[in-house]
Structure 1
Amino acid sequence: MKTIHKLFAAFFIGIGLTACVKYKNDINLEDAQAKQAALTSKVRQQLGDAPNGWLLMVPNLDPTIRTAIPIVLKFDVAKGVVNSTSPFPASLSSVPSLFELSSATGAPLLSFATGSIFSGWYEAGGITDYYFKILSVSADSISMQPYRKGNVYASEGGIPMVMYRLKTPATWFDKPYDLKAILTGKTAPLFNNANNPLKLTYKDGYQQPAWNMEFDGVAAGDMAFWQRYVPFTRYLGMIPIYLFSNGNYTVPGVYYCGNNALVSHLDNGFTPAPWFIDQPKKFISAIKTDYLLVRNLSTDSAKVELFALDKYGNEIISGTLEAK
């Protein structure tokens, strides 16, 4: 029995001695916090040091889509506000959005306020968060990742994306077109013509299937519904119209006119599902992009020149929509 007592005593003395040892590999919290603060300061300086702004390319949640939606951001780090231009009309507001840069999560976290285009896009289901972890910083780019995957039960981390420092001003959204009138106006060629082929060319060699597009407007009462209940319109200002593809007049798809952009979006949770989800999904799958930016418009509004960008900000799709 005495032997057992001696063993226990030796065991606990060993624990005490071990606890008093300072290992070289112990985490130095002060050093870690200093590194976090230095990286956060570097990110803040980078954000503010871009006279032409930053180009954020936001990939679609569907990995088969070849394009990413461009958003131009200009940060005023002194005031903590950011101005944006994008395919979403809500980004044209003269009132800048608030942003915050912190390191509370152990890495720099770039947060956009409620009411920004990011929070609106999150509500519409287009992105999974409006809080972004900064992954890496270089002289001309900042890599970041949505903090959440969009579901409270899912693991952390959405699809990574990159902001690129613009060397020259981006002018894609500077000359707004009234796309609703161009596509659904009673005298518009693209409204009155039944033969409006969409012809796109892809730099990666993809062959777009033949696709004919016809359009119709949304009634005023229905528009009020969109403005009140559908997040893509309510929060981002997107204007819904109806798209009839390839002579299918029975089941239209909801299509959106934005700021110099034609956009397909899946409005999950709304019915009839073929209008809000199935037809838009079919169109996106066929042309491998959820948006097309307007490059130019013919004087008679019968021909629209279109393009789209990949996740690096390079043009990957170009083509036309024309009333024949």
Structure 2
Amino acid sequence: MKNTYQLLIAILWVVLAAGCTKYEKDFDLEANDARQNELNDKILKQLGDAPLGWIMYIPSMDTALITATPVIIKFDIGKGTFTTQSPFPASASSVPSLFELSSATGSPLLSFASGSIFSSFYESGNINDYYFKVLNAGVDTIAVQPYRKGNIYASEGGIPMKLVKLKAPITWFDSPVNLPALFIANDAPFYNSATNTLKLTYKNGYVPPAINMEFSGSSAGNMNFFRTYLPFCRDLGMYPVELYVNSDYNNGGLYYCGNNALYNHIDNGVSPVELFVNPPRKFMRALKTDYLLVRSVSADRTKIGLFAVDKDGTEIITGTLEVE
């Protein structure tokens, strides 16, 4: 019996020794940190090695929509800052925002600072997060995924998207048009016309029925409320006008003018839903997009050329808004 106990003790010591050896082999923290730092350095070098910047295509969180919002990003690796061009006027800020690439989650995590375009877009409910896991880093394309699914309590893993290195300049946001003046100025043709026809064509050949759009301004009191309490206005600089679709004057909603962009946006948590939620949701789902970028404006201000792109940057919607 004594020999049996001694044999069991000996076997136990062998197992423990093997376990310790395996732990040290599999979990060499210093080596792991070195690998992560090397990978982060590689990604940072790629982000900085883009004279024209990168473009991120941000898909809508509404799966009924087929487009993605484009945001051009230029990284300054030495300063740890970035600048953007986008449909949002707040992108025009001359003060760069901070970013960081870390391995806080065990894999590369690209984090944009609070107060940046990305955190403001998150606050307005249009993107899952402003922290992005780097899924894959190619020479010209970097695949990322929002860390969360929409709020601090949600599980990991938002909608995957990608950054694409620009090989040629994109000038969509270079010369902003004064869109509010086009729609609500007293002498604006679109403001004075009851027949402003939106005609769109889709890449798959679909041509929906034309839509009539009528525009109106809001009172000073309402504008003050919008700019104080609506993140889309307050933080992103979007300008709201009132929109009536197909002469439905009982169900007007807000339509946002941005940097060469027209935007539908749902302001959840704000009443009444008949103004802030239902009309914009109905309109964007009819168009299958929450935005349209401005390609051109006619000299007489009666016709606007429009387009939108998908998550791959492909132009999938084109059209016009014209005074009839």
- Look up the match of 1:97: 97
C-alpha distance after superposition, 1:244-294 (max 9, x if no partner): 001101110111000000000110011110211111000111110000000
Kindly report which structure 2 residues correspond to 1:101-116, keeping only aligned pairs within 5 A, or say none: 101-116=101-116
* TM-score, normalisation: structure 1: 0.95
- Look up the match of 2:15: 18
Kindly report which structure 2 residues correspond to 1:75-224, keeping only aligned pairs within 5 A, or say none: 75-224=75-224
- Look up the match of 2:39: 39
1:271 and 2:271 matched: yes
Between the aligned partners of 1:149 and 1:120, the Cα distance in structure 2 is: 16
> CA 1:207–1:9 in structure 2 vs 1: closer, same or farther (change >3 Å)?
farther
> CA 1:90–1:12 in structure 2 vs 1: closer, same or farther (change >3 Å)?
farther
Q: CA deviation at 1:102?
A: 1.0
1:233 and 2:233 matched: yes
Q: CA deviation at 1:138?
A: 0.5
Between the aligned partners of 2:93 and 2:300, the Cα distance in structure 1 is: 30
Q: Number of matched residues?
A: 321
- Look up the match of 1:307: 307
Between the aligned partners of 2:95 and 2:62, the Cα distance in structure 1 is: 32
3-state SS, counterpart of residue 171 of structure 1 = coil
Amino acid in the other structure paired with 1:149: K
3-state SS, counterpart of residue 31 of structure 1 = helix
Sequence identity percentage: 54
Between the aligned partners of 1:15 and 1:157, the Cα distance in structure 2 is: 42
Q: CA deviation at 1:198?
A: 0.6
Confirm or deny: 8 A CA contact 1:209 1:286 kept in the other structure: no
Amino acid in the other structure paired with 2:256: Y
Q: CA deviation at 1:16?
A: 2.3
Amino acid in the other structure paired with 2:182: I
C-alpha distance after superposition, 1:223-262 (max 9, x if no partner): 1111111111111011011110011011101110000000
Q: CA deviation at 1:222?
A: 0.8
3-state SS, counterpart of residue 248 of structure 1 = coil
Q: CA deviation at 1:7?
A: 6.0
Amino acid in the other structure paired with 2:168: T
Q: CA deviation at 1:209?
A: 3.3
What is the RMSD computed on CA atoms of the aligned residues? Answer: 1.6
3-state SS, counterpart of residue 26 of structure 2 = coil
Amino acid in the other structure paired with 2:249: Y
Amino acid in the other structure paired with 2:136: S
> CA 1:8–1:70 in structure 2 vs 1: closer, same or farther (change >3 Å)?
farther
Deviates more, 1:218-227 or 1:285-294: 218-227
Between the aligned partners of 2:307 and 2:11, the Cα distance in structure 1 is: 71
Structure 2 residue runs without a partner (length 5+)? none
Between the aligned partners of 1:168 and 1:7, the Cα distance in structure 2 is: 78
1:30 and 2:27 matched: no
Between the aligned partners of 2:4 and 2:175, the Cα distance in structure 1 is: 84
Confirm or deny: 8 A CA contact 2:142 2:164 kept in the other structure: yes
Between the aligned partners of 1:27 and 1:185, the Cα distance in structure 2 is: 66
Amino acid in the other structure paired with 2:38: A
Between the aligned partners of 1:173 and 1:102, the Cα distance in structure 2 is: 31
